[in-house]
Amino acid sequence: MRADSRSRRPTSQDVARLAGVAQSTVSYVLTGSRPISEETRARVEDAIEKLGYHPNSGARSLRSRRSGVIGLMVPQPRGGRGEPFEFIETISREARRAGYDILLVTEMEGAEGIRRVARTGVCEALILMELDRRDERVGAVLASGLPSVMIGIPEALGDGSAVDLDFERLAALVVERARAELCPRLLLFGGLEQRRHRNDVSRFLTGIDAALARDGAPLQVIHDAGPLAGVPARARELTPEGERTAVFGLGRVQQVLFAAAAAGILTDPALRFMALAGEELAATSPLLAAIPRIDPRRAEVSELAVRELVRLLQVEGATPRLQLVEPEWSVA
């Protein structure tokens, strides 16, 4: 019987299914953007031949690309040397050390920015940061066939590598410290409930719930979404005489601590401030040097992201993996 000429053409998804590999692996074989074992390559090429699959000319043109450039999608600049700048600075330095240059792509370009970078062939690999739980850019990266590393863990990570701070362990450290300080309540500032769409916030709050469920003294969690400058005063107002309230947030802690200092309650025995911050906190002001501090280890996360990407680019048969960096107290 003659085949229906209107039947659909085979896709890379069909090739992946027949070869028993991920769709991204088909892209890697076509583009040559990541080392693939000869056995896997043979299975993919055999499936391509059996199905009569014809990749588009754009995919074929990528096959021998080695640009020496890594694309880094960064948050929209907000001025100053904030947390994203530390990631960018470390990633750029480590990439140069490994022989690669960095091309910055702003997050406002979204998935289309990823597709544009892949089409032009200017980058041979990608790093994404500041990810939402459900982030449209992740699908675009995986579909591009380029080796990639996410700083963060989106829900649809798929066949990709990711590195990040272990935010669930961070939550456990915060709860453990609040209980050790005999605080019956923990105030979380920064409107975290309203930011659950962020992958890091979601994982942190999941960790808070898990830590509360474990044996220990009762601990009431209060979510504060008000202006940061008013956090210390609000925490003090809700604390009954003779009790303590632990105070913590995932960002912009300096603004909260300076507000506490200005109100004269930075060292109030009724409040127990904790900070997610590095050495920069103590360097900002001697007043903040004694605040219990958990190191977010941004430099280590950034270095690990580059090392993972170089591994994917240079090691034959390297497979994606998830790596979490353990948070730790710097000042306890």
Condensed to tens digits (0 to 9), the pLDDT of residues 273-292 reads 999 998 888 888 888 888 99
The CATH superfamily label for domain 12-61 reads lambda repressor-like DNA-binding domains (1.10.260.40)
Mean per-residue pLDDT over the chain, rounded? 87
CA 302 to chain centroid, in Å, comes to 10
What pLDDT shows up at residue 269?
Answer: 95
Q: What stretch(es) of the chain map to CATH 3.40.50.2300?
A: 69-165+298-331, 167-295
**290 neighbors 272 (Cβ within 8 angstroms):** no
pLDDT digits (tens, 9 = 90+) for 181-216: 999 999 999 999 999 999 999 999 999 999 999 888
Looking at the chain, the domain(s) classified CATH 1.10.260.40 span 12-61
3-class DSSP assignment, residue 278: coil
Amino acid at 316: E
Positive or negative: CA dihedral 280, 282, 287, 291: positive
Task: Identify the weakest region by mean pLDDT among 64-68, 75-79, 163-167.
Answer: 75-79
Superfamily of domain 167-295: Response regulator (3.40.50.2300)
pLDDT for residue 218: 93
69-165+298-331: CATH topology is Rossmann fold (3.40.50)
Q: How far apart are CA 313 and CA 143, in angstroms?
A: 17
DSSP letter assigned to residue 121: T
Question: For the whole model, what pTM was predicted?
Answer: 0.79
Task: Decide if pLDDT at 63 tops 50.
Answer: no
DSSP classification of residue 4: P
* Cβ atoms within 10 Å, residue 64: 9
Most confident stretch, 33-37, 76-80, 114-118: 114-118
β-strands 245-249, 220-224: how paired? unpaired
- Report the pLDDT value the prediction gives residue 287, as an integer from 0 to 100: 83
Give the model's pLDDT for residue 32.
61
Work out the percent of the chain whose per-residue pLDDT is above 70. 90
Mean pLDDT of 41-60: 74
